[in-house]
Chains A and B, each alone.
Chain A
Amino acid sequence: AQSVTQPDIHITVSEGASLELRCNYSYGATPYLFWYVQSPGQGLQLLLKYFSGDTLVQGIKGFEAEFKRSQSSFNLRKPSVHWSDAAEYFCAVDGTGFQKLVFGTGTRLLVSP
């Protein structure tokens, strides 16, 4: 069965510092990979997705993610965090290609001044 692991429940980063959020998945083949962000009281917004091709994917709001097949990872990065990035971030995979998303448990990002 597919599974997604986000090992960090909370992360605190200083404003202006770099960010990396970890995501590991378990699936036999390369699934479709996604990162979503959920701001307080809001729904989920897609940051970026990986289907195939270049393993470094650019998304909105200055985020990027790198797919590493050998590590079954899809880590999210941002070079300089802004206070408005404080939110919960979810990694998700679809191993079927039929829209069935399996989500990780999320990482809550706190940004300190």
Chain B
Amino acid sequence: EAQVTQNPRYLITVTGKKLTVTCSQNMNHEYMSWYRQDPGLGLRQIYYSMNVEVTDKGDVPEGYKVSRKEKRNFPLILESPSPNQTSLYFCASSSTGEGIQETQYFGPGTRLLVL
């Protein structure tokens, strides 16, 4: 089954304790992206990756890091989480076709609470 998986689905942590949220897709997609969803703000892009070893900032990258060492994985790293990073996080992936806008597939979400 084609899917995007995220782990963990729920996480409670404390300020300053490094954490990683994993994202994996089994569709051989080149493009992957992280979003955060906050009430009244919709989804905002954090980082994206066009392919292995190619990443770039989205609209709200502060406080986050990413890496893309393998095509299927795109982990989101919070080096020193703060309470304002409490949010619902989504990973998405899609293929990239020249001149074609491909559909993005979303993972189930990771709900993070930073105390």
Bits for B1-41, please: 1 = Cβ < 8 Å to A, else 0: 00010000000000000000000000000010101000011
Report whether A103 and B103 are in contact in the complex, using a CB–CB cutoff of 8 Å: no
Which residue in B48, B107, B109 is a CB contact (below 8 Å) of A99? B48
Contacts of B105 in A (CB 8 A): 46
Q: List 23 A-B contacts (CB under 8 A).
A: A4-B42, A9-B40, A42-B108, A43-B106, A43-B108, A43-B109, A44-B43, A44-B92, A45-B106, A92-B43, A94-B101, A97-B99, A97-B101, A98-B50, A99-B31, A99-B48, A99-B94, A99-B104, A101-B45, A101-B104, A103-B35, A104-B42, A105-B41
A106-B103 contact, Cβ under 8 Å, with A99-B31, A99-B33, A100-B48: no
**Complex-state Cα separation, A9 to B50, whole angstroms:** 33
Closest partner residue, chain A, to B43 (CB atom): A103
| Cβ-based interface call for A32 (8 A) | yes
Q: For B95, give the chain A residue with the smallest CB separation.
A: A99
A95 to chain B, nearest CB (A): 11
Beyond A4-B42, A36-B106: 16 further Cβ-contacts under 8 Å?
Answer: A43-B90, A43-B106, A43-B107, A43-B108, A44-B90, A46-B104, A49-B103, A90-B43, A98-B50, A99-B31, A99-B33, A99-B96, A99-B101, A103-B35, A103-B44, A105-B41
Total A-B contacts with CB atoms under 8 angstroms apart: 56
| A90:B42 contact, CB within 8 angstroms | yes
- On whether the beta carbons of B101 and A32 are closer than 8 Å, the reply is yes
A27 in contact (CB, < 8 A): no
Number of chain A interface residues as a range: 20 to 34
Asked if A44 meets B106 with Cβ closer than 8 Å, knowing A99-B94, A105-B41, the reply is yes
Q: Inside 8 A of B45's CB, which chain A residues have their CB?
A: 100-101
Chain B interface residue bracket vs A? 20 to 34
A103-B106 in contact (CB<8A): no
Interface residues of A (CB under 8 A from B): 4, 9, 32, 36, 41-46, 49, 51, 90, 92, 94, 97-101, 103-106
Contacts of B44 in A (CB 8 A): 103
